[in-house]
Amino acid sequence: MPGPALSVARPDEHPDRILSLRGITKRFGAVRALTGVDLDVHVGEVVAIVGDNGAGKSTLVKILAGVHPADGGSIRFFGQLTPIDSPTDSLDLGIATVFQDLALCDSLDVVSNLWLGRELTRAGALDEVEMEKRSWGLLRELHARITDVRVPVASLSGGQRQTVAIARSLIGDPHVVILDEPTAALGVSQTAEVLNLIERLRDRGLGVILVSHNIADVLAVADRVVVLRLGRNNGEFRASETSSDALIAAITGAMDHSRRGGDDPE
Residues that bind Mg ion (CB under 5 A): 58
Cβ distance 60 to 40 under 8 Å? no
Q: Which of 29, 124, 173, 266 binds another protein (CB under 8 A)?
A: 124
Q: What angle do CA 245, 98, 210 make, to 5 degrees?
A: 20
Nearest approach in angstroms of CB 171 to another protein is 10
- Asked if 107 interacts with another protein (CB under 8 A), we say yes
By rule CB under 8 A, what count of residues binds another protein? Answer: 39
From the CB of 208, what's the least distance to another protein, in Å? 19
Please report whether residue 240 would count as binding another protein according to CB under 8 A.
no
**Which is nearer to another protein, 97 or 183 (by Cβ)?**
97
Q: Out of 48, 55, 104, 215, which residue is the one contacting another protein (CB under 8 A)?
A: 104
How far is the CA of 123 from the CAs of 120, 126, 127, in angstroms? 10, 8, 9
Asked if 125 touches another protein (CB under 8 A), the answer is yes
Distance CA(201)–CA(18), nearest Å, equals 15
**Residue nearer to ligand ADP on the CB measure, 62 or 202:** 62
Going 46 to 200 to 60 to 17, the CA torsion angle's sign is: positive
Q: Tell me how far CA of residue 241 lies from CA of 32, 48, 153, 211, 262, in angstroms.
A: 32, 14, 40, 19, 18
Identity of the residue, 53 or 189, whose beta carbon is nearer to ligand ADP in the bound complex: 53
CA-to-CA distance for 41 and 222, rounded, in angstroms? 12
3-class DSSP assignment, residue 120: coil
| Interacting residues with another protein (CB under 8 A) | 65, 67, 87-88, 91, 97, 99, 103-109, 112, 116-119, 121, 124-126, 128-130, 132-133, 136, 147-152, 154-156, 168
